[in-house]
């Protein structure tokens, strides 16, 4: 993922100047979502390279998405409130990560044991 995140992080400001922030953000989100959706069709016999392609797509999408999104957020508030805006953005990212991992962890083992699915879904929903 890092192999895609870093170069696209460096290219994202140029793309934002040329096309504007909303299209670059949308392209990054669509690319990351494509990588995530590709992971859904993976199975035990999938090759390592198939996984690498999906992870590279996710990294490329995040590399395009994060810089203009952060710039737009911080540019939309007064300078005196930029620290607060950065804190809110970071808190939202952390919360989203925790919820994503918690919900995925609650539903993933459910394929093996249907009873655990219901219990895991309740725990995931409680998060």
Pair 56, 9 in one domain: yes
Whole domain around residue 84: which residue ranges? 79-127
Question: What is the pLDDT at residue 46?
Answer: 85
Both 86 and 71 in one domain: the answer is: no
Tens of pLDDT, residue by residue, the chain (127 residues): 788 899 999 999 999 999 999 999 999 999 999 998 988 888 888 888 988 999 999 999 999 999 999 999 889 999 899 899 999 989 998 998 898 888 877 766 555 555 555 555 555 555 5
- Can you read off the two tokens belonging to residue 7? 């170069």
Domain count across the chain: 2
pLDDT recorded at residue 101: 81
């Amino acid at each position: 993922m890092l192999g895609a995140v870093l170069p696209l992080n460096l290219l994202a400001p140029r793309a934002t100047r040329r096309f504007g922030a909303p299209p670059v953000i949308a392209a990054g989100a669509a690319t990351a979502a494509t990588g995530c959706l590709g992971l859904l069709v993976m199975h035990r016999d999938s090759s390592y390279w198939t996984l690498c392609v999906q992870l590279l797509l996710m990294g490329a999408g995040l590399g395009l998405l994060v810089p203009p999104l952060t710039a737009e957020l911080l540019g939309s508030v007064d300078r005196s409130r930029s620290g607060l805006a950065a804190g809110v953005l970071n808190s939202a990212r952390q919360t989203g990560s925790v919820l994503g991992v918690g919900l995925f962890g609650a539903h993933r083992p459910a394929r093996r044991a249907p009873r655990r699915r219901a219990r895991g879904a309740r725990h995931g929903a409680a998060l």
